Amino acid sequence: MNASLVRPLVRAELRAEFRAGEVVMTTIPFAASGLLVAAIAIGADTPLLRRVGPGMLWTIVLLFGSFVTLRRTVSGEPTRQEVLTLLGVDPVIQWVARAASSTVLLLGVIAVLVPVTVVIYDPPLTGLAAQAVAAVLVAVGLGALGTLAADLTASTRSRTSLVPLIVTPLTLPLVLAAVQVQEGAVYAASPWPWLLLAALTDVTIVLAGLLAARPLQEGAV
């Protein structure tokens, strides 16, 4: 297993995505409009908007994050995966590269949606360092689980609804941790128990992905 292959594979995945522009041109604007529509539905109750803002942000990240892992440059090109397998690239390395590129893109999505949330919902901006760590943990977990779910549902009917159905319930600890870190910052509570929960969830998901990579690709080519 040649781990040095991960970096060029991630770079290739990201280059393909930047050329296609699916996440930037479609997913991010759609997610931002979701945040806006939710705020309109809640109404002009500023204290309420301030309170629900962080929860809305992470709900939108979770729901739209699945689409990042299902982007066309990954799921629409099974031949790329087949070529890599025929070239002898270990399925585990391929999975790590796909999960890492999804994580990078999810971090980009979060980086754009945070200012949008601040503008629309005006949440209290405290404990930013802990929230940044929580954001990274959410991106890692969501990227890894989304990639695993995308592999599980590869070439299936109704894939676009199956992936969120599998991903959404299993990533609840991540959303819970991210929201509680923000809420804890308001009341000066320690973020560590929640960050630990998110980190444990990430470790479990990544381990599951690493263990499942080979059996999932068995017979795929």
Name 154's Cβ contacts closer than 8 Å, sequence gap at least 6.
75, 78, 220
Q: With binding defined as CB under 8 A, does residue 212 bind other proteins? A: yes
Size of the site for other proteins (CB under 8 A): 23
User: Following CA atoms 200, 203, 209, 210 in sequence, which dihedral angle do they give, to the nearest 10 degrees?
Assistant: -150
Question: Based on the number of CB atoms within 10 Å of its own CB, is 43 exposed (0-12), middle (13-18) or buried (19 or more)?
Answer: exposed
Site for other proteins contains 51 (CB under 8 A): no
Contact region for other proteins (CB under 8 A) — 17-25, 85-93, 135-143, 209-217? Answer: 209-217
- Asked if residue 221 binds other proteins (CB under 8 A), the reply is no
Q: Is residue 59 involved in binding other proteins (CB under 8 A)? A: no
List the one residue from 37, 132, 165, 186 that touches other proteins (CB under 8 A): 165
Tell me if residue 45 falls in helix, strand or coil. Answer: coil
Which of these ranges, 4-12, 53-61, 105-113, 213-221, lies near other proteins under the rule CB under 8 A? Answer: 213-221
Q: Which two tokens stand for residue 142?
A: 């969501």
The reply to whether 172 sits near other proteins by the rule CB under 8 A is yes
For residue 162, the SS3 value is helix
44: helix, strand or coil: coil
Q: At what angle do helices 91-121 and 28-42 cross, to 10 degrees?
A: 40
Is there binding between residue 204 and other proteins (CB under 8 A)?
yes
DSSP label of 77 = -
Binding mask 103-142 for other proteins (x = CB under 8 A): ----------------------------------------
- Applying CB under 8 A, the residues found at the interface with other proteins are 148, 152-153, 155-159, 161-162, 165-166, 168-170, 172, 204, 208, 212, 215-216, 218-219
